[in-house]
Amino acid sequence: MLLDATDPHDLFAAWYAEAEASEPRVPDAVQVATVADGLPEVRTVLLKAFGPEGWWFYTNLGSPKALQLAAHPQVAVLAHWKGLERQVRAWGRAELATDEEADAYFATRSRGSQLGAWASRQSEVLPDRATLQERLAAVTERFAGQAVPRPTFWGGYRVDVQRLEFWQGRPDRLHDRVLFTRFDTGWRRELLYP
């Protein structure tokens, strides 16, 4: 499949479907690397949508990653499925998702996750666990008996993917690697040494 692929989005969709079937925990977990003060930072986020239009993830817009993306929107993303011996690296520019996209995704989250978005001051110092529980109790009471709206400080990013590298593990470290680079005229495909 990999060595014959001509469309990186179709290939990613096929690999993702296989990961969903074989990686029972979180096949949508990806690592996103940003730049902070000239140094790389990486963390795991959940990839919530993908396709030719981009790759989407969501977060608190006051989080360190959001602040870093505001200053330096270039990102690297890594999907790794250990059980399949596969990884996909992607590079591109992160742009804020529209309010409509963020609202639509927020509405699909569990009520607990929606309330958690309101209660958490992501990445700020937490004096103790009780403080978080108190904040959660307050927002739970605030939104009792009604739908939980998306907080204005919570949204998403669409990564406009410019390059994708697919890696398939093979015996004796003779792995398969294919790099796709996007141009105005389409995708250039190159086979890479392992």
Query: 3-state class of 166 per DSSP?
Result: strand
pLDDT digits (tens, 9 = 90+) for 69-90: 999 999 999 999 999 999 999 9
Q: 8-103+155-192: which CATH architecture?
A: Roll (2.30)
Per annotation, catalytic residue among 111, 158, 173, 189? 173
pLDDT, tens digit, 9 for 90 and up, residues 105-159 = 999 999 999 999 999 999 999 999 999 999 999 999 999 999 999 999 999 999 9
Q: What is the pTM of this model?
A: 0.91
Residue carrying structure tokens 């590298």: 165
Tokens encoding 74: 């270039």
Give the domain ranges of the chain. 8-103+155-192
| Cα 132-153-28 angle, rounded to 5 deg | 80
Told to judge if 173 belongs to the known catalytic residues of this protein, a careful annotator would answer yes
Residue 20's CB: how many other CB atoms inside 10 A?
12
